[in-house]
A and B are shown apart, each in its own frame.
Chain A
């Protein structure tokens, strides 16, 4: 069992990119250019860490491996779309991550006591909803990419291409507000800023358009879900059950 406990701890630690970014930002006083105080910036990156912990998705890798190993076949003849299994696995892992994320937050506040704040219940609730919607968007995007396994054996390569805009435009490395105005207007038309930037700003108490952000998240889910259904239905016709 020890290896499982260590694995869970490593999952949680593996998401600490926002803390590295916080260090880079504060050491170089980059936040001055976007009128964000040190405290607000550190809260933003802590919230980005939390949002990332509860919205990270790896369904494309699981599905690709299962497809190549022939494990998808038994799932396909059950009266439940296999993606529900992956969805349940992600939710279960998020619950497992929670205590470790809290421990990391505890140490964060020990070293940054000035950043400690308690969000009001309403904002906390909306942040949880927004983080869940972010998870749904990422899950749908990756599921669509995962369905490419029906045509190509390496759908994860496409995912790696998507990871680049996700990394730069989602707010994981820098708050979207730090981009030039004309770039920002384009970024907000994509689903990326609603993955981390919007929920993290919401939770950290930074100024953000709550109704606009939530509406965009819901809109992206409504756009992606039918696309997923279509690609799934076409893909299963192409399925060759290789490896089984």
Chain B
């Protein structure tokens, strides 16, 4: 049986936020009598993650995804509740815990700006107590997986964003952590760089059985990497389960564009009981429920003279977008 590697119970986090009115008067008031209020950004959440799982955290900006990741990796202290990651309390930042995890934040870098990435890799290797031989071996292996070579010897400031992100990943993975916290790892990357990064993460997960917690606003990252998603809405979990189930629930019908041989056929099809979205001459778009799609298509192909047909999946961004604005998904 696969063990839980992350166990979160009734976790909450509050921040003290100060507010200031605009203008000179507001500034003076703010200086002498600062108004602060406590804002609960994470509200009593609980979940578990199994070893080797890749879990996507979905939510609108400010929903609390990144705060959850920061608490999971021990960066910030929880206000209430408990977190166990790999058997450790993250905020205590014990050496063995820190050697087991990594956190990658898109656009935030740990590489030394004026030096080639290889220098940062060796620095990280010494921080994680790796000897030079082992470090060299891991750098070679990871640079092959990430397809970076000459870039290792070029100052970081001269690298492109994609090359820098790959180098960041290498620096963050040199100690072979078994839990990866990735906060928007593909942010700002072009389509090819995003695809390569996803391929790399899949391979890393497969080869090392590492657990990956990921947040991203790029739905392709989520759909190609995560079987399970946790949707966060205003600091609370609105859905925790399989991505497939969520998509089915959110988009129960498919749209089918049918091109008939004649306009009469299109009219006949329109009158045969299907929900018609629109009709232009011999082209008709109908909506069919996912569960009856095979039988409905069989009926159409047997009874009408069809020239061509196209099944349109609803855009994933549109579907997931619904999750970000809804409080609860009971599936």
On A, residues with C-beta under 8 Å from B are 4, 70-71, 73-80, 236-241, 244
Contact = CB atoms under 8 A, between A and B. Distances in A.
B108 A70 contact: yes
A237 B70 contact: no
B76 A244 contact: no
B15 interface: yes
A75 B91 CA distance: 14
B105 A78 contact: no
B77 A73 contact: no
A80 B98 CA distance: 9
B93 interface: yes
B256 to A, nearest CB: 46
Given A75-B110, A77-B102, A244-B105, A237 B77 contact: yes
Nearest to A237: B77
A239 B75 contact: yes
Contacts of A74: 103, 105, 108-110, 172
Given A239-B75, A240-B76, A73 B93 contact: no
B76 A239 contact: yes
B103 A80 contact: no
Between B95, B110, B114, B128, the greatest number of chain A beta carbons within 10 A of the residue's beta carbon is seen for B110
Given A237-B91, A240-B15, A241-B70, A77 B108 contact: no
Contact of B93 (A4, A71, A77, A244): A77
A76 B92 CA distance: 11
A71 B107 CA distance: 11
Interface string B98-120: 11011101001110001000000
A240 B98 CA distance: 19
Given A76-B75, A238-B77, 11 more contacts: A73-B103, A73-B105, A74-B109, A75-B110, A77-B75, A77-B93, A78-B127, A79-B95, A241-B70, A244-B105, A244-B108
Given A74-B108, A77-B93, A79-B95, A239 B102 contact: no
A117 to B, nearest CB: 39
Contact of B75 (A73, A79, A238): A73
Contact of A79 (B103, B105, B127): B127
Interface of B: 15, 70, 73-77, 91, 93, 95, 98-99, 101-103, 105, 108-110, 114, 124, 127-128, 172
Contacts of B108: 70-71, 73-74, 244
Contacts of B114: 4
A70 B76 CA distance: 13
Contacts of A238: 77
Nearest to A84: B127
B91 A77 contact: no
B172 to A, nearest CB: 8
A217 to B, nearest CB: 30
Contacts of A240: 15, 76
Contacts of B109: 71, 74
20 contacts: A70-B108, A71-B108, A71-B109, A73-B103, A73-B108, A74-B105, A76-B74, A76-B93, A77-B74, A77-B75, A77-B103, A78-B128, A79-B99, A236-B93, A237-B77, A239-B76, A239-B77, A240-B15, A241-B76, A244-B108
B75 A241 contact: yes
* Residue of B76, B95, B114, B124 most packed against chain A (CB within 10 A): B76
A92 to B, nearest CB: 11
Given A73-B103, A237-B91, A240-B15, A79 B110 contact: no
A228 B123 CA distance: 25
A9 B249 CA distance: 67
Contacts of A73: 70, 75, 103, 105, 108
Contacts of B110: 71, 74-75
Contact of A78 (B70, B76, B77, B98): B98
B234 to A, nearest CB: 19
B206 to A, nearest CB: 24
A243 B124 CA distance: 23
* Listed residue (A75, A80, A241) with the most chain B CB atoms within 10 angstroms of its CB: A241
Nearest to B177: A77
A206 B48 CA distance: 68
A157 to B, nearest CB: 14
Contacts of B76: 239-241
Contact of B73 (A75, A77, A79): A77
A5 to B, nearest CB: 13
A240 B16 CA distance: 10
Contact of A77 (B15, B77, B101): B101
B271 to A, nearest CB: 60
Nearest to B103: A77
Contacts of A241: 70, 75-76
Question: Which 5 pairs of residues, A with B, have the shortest CB-CB distance?
Answer: A74-B110, A79-B98, A79-B95, A237-B77, A80-B127
A76 to B, nearest CB: 6
